[in-house]
Structure 1
Amino acid sequence: MSLPAFGLGTFRLKDQQAIDSVTMGLELGYRHIDTAQIYGNEAEVGQAIAASAVARDDLYLTTKIWTDNLAGNALIPSLKQSLSKLQTDYVDLTLIHWPSPKDEIQVSEYMSALLEAKSQGLTREIGISNFTIRHMQQAFETVGAEQIATNQVEIHPYLQNRKVVEFARENGLQLTAYMPLAYGKVMNDALLQRIAESHNSTPALVSLAWLLQQGFAVIPSSTKRSNLQSNLQAMNLKLSEAEMAEITQLDCGERLANPGFAPQWD
């Protein structure tokens, strides 16, 4: 199974909230679940999956290696811990969550370890997240661009990451857009509201459809069943070229995920 275009994100979901969101998502038809070591909810995600009626082979499960575990001798043991929490023998996709802060550990070291994890059957695919053009180039040089399933980066109407998008497309790399709803900011946007009204839809669905039509995968999250169900309708919403172009004009470089250890962005 290759990376599904639509998935369920679990960032910021804790304890029972994470269990409930994944449980509802699986009931509604989500088959791509995205988590990470640093989210602190792998065990809850695993519990929800184990309790569901969905067969493991029908799921696409993603986790991400945290920066503390990037050293060559730490990455695979940390992934095995993640598998234990997730109650599975493998994940479908393992991402490097962030490049090593200040490049203290070389891209070649952790990408080589990640490829070894794939060869051991711990993960079926490997990928990257929050990688700049320079980091992507180094990853390609280490394992080959064809080995990398996706670069998961922040993309929404207010941050369109055009340099990264262009470079990824030139190299045939799939991009996954996280924070696709800009923490809910899209809901109050006048342009998105107008476009949504013309489609009898919502600004959230318009934002998701705008991303999907550009070929990005999306992983919105929600704790509400109604929102989880509604979000899926974005796959059926078709925007006109004019509407797509109007939304593109919203780009203002507003980056929401920018921790102190982040790389120098393109």
Structure 2
Amino acid sequence: MHIDILTLFPEMMEGVFQSSILKKAQEKNKFSYNLVNFRDYTTNKHRKVDDYPYGGGAGMVLTPQPVFDAVDACLEDKATKPRIVLLCPQGERYTQQKAEELAKEEHLIFICGHYEGYDERIRTGLATDEISIGDYVLTGGELGAMVIVDSVVRLLPDVLGNESSAVEDSFSTGLLEHPHYTRPATFRNMSVPDVLLSGDHAKIAKWRKTESLNRTLERRPDLLENYSFTEEEKQILDEIKQNKSIE
């Protein structure tokens, strides 16, 4: 995978790309990236990339020319057609399912907005996807792009040390993940559940499924509305609800 990020502040991202899993993924040649300052592509003699909106209004709007030209430069010598992601508060809310979808692509281009917004022709003439990482507004799209890149790259084959890690993550299964414990077995009078020390893999699997369903019911019941339950999961969830009603 190759990732281009169009931004006015490339220095914001260098630390992220040179740390942790993203750095290791590059060392394994699992992906490459290019930070593009689209100010370098403006034809404005003052190097401006924004202007006042037609019709008036507060704030400045990114002009189309430097963004279009920067994208054209990213497409040179590229045989594949990229997904061009516009970071935007008006976009679809980002999910793990979207991360899994983007992880299948060979080339991603992210456009990080700034100021009051984009000239609409950037949205209609370039973007294949518009994504928001939440119902709030940031000063620019850089933080959103970093969130998405991290969530996508970790899904690429052989990036994580344990291949099952990404599969079992919260949201990947449609449920929140079960609790985890490690040594020591007792810490400050808090003990690891006995079932996890039993060595009985079938009981451990059922405990994890039960805890996952229980945690999802308590914290994100909305996820259960469209979840496809197995018969065992239906029975476990019914038992959880009965126990809660007794309490």
| TM-score (norm. length: structure 1) | 0.27
| TM-score (norm. length: structure 2) | 0.29
Larger Rg: 2
The answer to which structure has the higher helix fraction is 1
